[in-house]
Structure 1
Amino acid sequence: MAAVYKSISKSSATKVDAPSNGIKRNKQRVLILSSRGVTYRHRHLLNDIASMLPHSRKDAKFDSKTKLYELNELAELYNCNNVLFFEARKGKDLYVWLSKVPNGPTVKFHLQNLHTMEELHFTGNCLKGSRPILSFDAAFEKQPHLRVIKELFLHTFGVPEGARKSKPFIDHVMGFSFADGKIWVRNYQISEVEASKGDEEEDKSHKSRGGKDTDVNLVEIGPRFVLTPIVIQEGSFGGPIIYENKEFVSPNQVRSDIRKGKASRHNARAEQTVGRLSRKSDLGLRTKGPRVAKSELDTKMLFA
């Protein structure tokens, strides 16, 4: 895993050019695209992320779900060295592939708890094309596979200075937290509000230190979602698996278990009904059956 971490750093270093004026530019570009079968919520999430990343390039939907290695050629065609691919399954499940082209590694996530900007109606807002501050939980430095994921997040969501269509402002924060084996992603606006006049002595001491009477707050913008790491491959959309999440259960398996549970309860009720009827017949008790019309020559009808 450490070798993979070093390979990512080397691949990013190759994209830093030193022009004649001596200013180095980090040429990180991200290709964002999805597969066939995405829902409108998945499409809105893709548009939200693309609007937050001015160094990204959107492309049409990718037809194949098996030949993902062809995305490397597509990324080279658009001069991109990062790929963010949304793979939809059965119109319900969404998987996210994050790859470093062309040498890898590649991380596959399962995306859950999706809420787009259009759904949330948060009051926060940020300038389109501004650069974000990436905030990571301390847990990303404790495990090797989380360090690899953190480096990929830095290359994908970190807008380099002087990037294409980027603005020279930093007015929002992207937070990545790790809890319960999942990565929780949030986006906040950096809001500066004038300080209240509650404590005049603190204001005077603050002014004496050269500060301004402003309070910095974070206001959520959206979108918000949760990523569950599944596997990490050494290459770009291929190669040996260097990490696998043994605790991950696919949503197909969850739905199958729910259906089997309902079927087992139905079978148990059917078996109880058959057993009850058989016991009644053994005891000579009358069991409920289809009603038969009484005849006029029946004994009970004649001698009533």
Structure 2
Amino acid sequence: MTTIYKLAKAQKDEDSDDHEEKETLKNRQRVLALSSRGVNYRQRHLLNDLRALLPHFKKDSKLDQKCKLGIINELAELNNCNNCIFFEVRKRQDLYMWTSKIPNGPSIKFHVLNIHTMDELKMTGNCLKGSRPILSFDKTFDSEPHWTLIKEVFIHIFGVPKSARRIKPFVDHVISFTIADNRIWFRNFQIIEKDPMEPNKKPDDKDLSLVEIGPRFVLNVIRIFEGSFSGATIYANPEFVSPNQVRRNFRMAKAARHQARVVAKEEKRRKVANSDLPDDPLTLSDFSDISNFSD
């Protein structure tokens, strides 16, 4: 009897250890998505499109611009989230996207460009709401350390875990991340499978096609911080130029063109005023003499 009890207890302990190991290996990625006040309609629709595509996103109210970004860590912990996407708007036109691992980091700051939402594009593709996506990364992500870190953060944020509560048991769209011109290009495609004519025909790669759904946007890396919304700078993009500097350069170039036109007009006026034209040999008196001679 004692031997049977010991065997049962050992089996129970083994089962509990297996259960704990499965729990530790279980993917529990939840993402808090929120924005600051001052977003326009296009930026707001972009965030709503991401929430609709990814069922493990949790939305929160807009964050006041006067608050420090460190408060987002507390909001994420209250919502039981270990990832965060924050849309920060400056001057009601410049959009910055923060991606962070809560609570210890790292966090990445991007400048968002060329935003096109799903309603704006009116693509022909469509996917099931709540389905899991396939993440496709360019091979350039494995070339340098900062791209590898960004890839890992994107896997945690955009990769929908199997344990998410609102997912559907389907995989019918692909999220593509491509690096071109030192920027990350985000695209979303639907997987369309053609029905085979023969019932026993095996699916082939030729029977699959991709149709873009949207949204689409471009991310320009600014900085990578060691902590969550704080900490030392791990990587800084040396090629990044702030939108304020771009607008300033445009205004200075426009002012330089205007100044060049003003200088050219003044030079022409001075040249005309200083020029002495020679007397015209054909005067009115000569014409009068010719007329008298004819009479």
* TM-score, structure 1 as length reference: 0.79
Is 1:243–2:238 an aligned residue pair?
no
d(CA) in 1 for partners of 2:271 and 2:22? 94
Question: How far does residue 164 in structure 1 lie from its aligned partner after superposition?
Answer: 2.0
Question: How far does residue 212 in structure 1 lie from its aligned partner after superposition?
Answer: 4.0
Contact kept? 1:30, 1:80, Cα under 8 Å: yes
d(CA) in 2 for partners of 1:194 and 1:179? 35
d(CA) in 1 for partners of 2:247 and 2:211? 37
Q: Which residue of structure 2 lines up, in the alignment, with residue 173 of structure 1?
A: 174
Contact kept? 1:35, 1:65, Cα under 8 Å: no
**Unaligned 5+ runs, structure 2:** 1-16, 278-295
* TM-score, structure 2 as length reference: 0.81
Structure ID, larger Rg: 2
Contact kept? 1:18, 1:25, Cα under 8 Å: no
What is the RMSD of the two structures over their aligned residues, measured on CA atoms? 2.3
Is 1:161–2:162 an aligned residue pair?
yes
SS at match of 1:188: strand
d(CA) in 1 for partners of 2:149 and 2:92? 30
Question: How far does residue 248 in structure 1 lie from its aligned partner after superposition?
Answer: 1.1
- Residues 251/18 of structure 1: CA separation in 2 closer, same or farther (3 Å cut): farther
Q: Which residue of structure 1 lines up, in the alignment, with residue 34 of structure 2?
A: 33
Name the aligned partner's letter for residue 147 of structure 1: T
Contact kept? 1:29, 1:55, Cα under 8 Å: yes
d(CA) in 1 for partners of 2:134 and 2:266? 66
- Residues 18/39 of structure 1: CA separation in 2 closer, same or farther (3 Å cut): farther
SS at match of 2:68: coil
d(CA) in 2 for partners of 1:29 and 1:18? 24
Question: How far does residue 268 in structure 1 lie from its aligned partner after superposition?
Answer: 1.9
Is 1:60–2:52 an aligned residue pair?
no
Q: Which residue of structure 2 lines up, in the alignment, with residue 262 of structure 1?
A: 254
SS at match of 1:259: helix
* Matched ranges for 1:127-146 at <5 A: 127-146=128-147
Question: How far does residue 89 in structure 1 lie from its aligned partner after superposition?
Answer: 1.6
Count of residue correspondences: 259
d(CA) in 1 for partners of 2:241 and 2:194? 45
Question: How far does residue 96 in structure 1 lie from its aligned partner after superposition?
Answer: 0.5
d(CA) in 2 for partners of 1:283 and 1:77? 82
Q: Which residue of structure 2 lines up, in the alignment, with residue 227 of structure 1?
A: 219
Q: Percent identity?
A: 58
**Unaligned 5+ runs, structure 1:** 1-16, 197-202, 286-304
Q: Which residue of structure 2 lines up, in the alignment, with residue 89 of structure 1?
A: 90
Question: How far does residue 66 in structure 1 lie from its aligned partner after superposition?
Answer: 6.4
SS at match of 2:33: strand
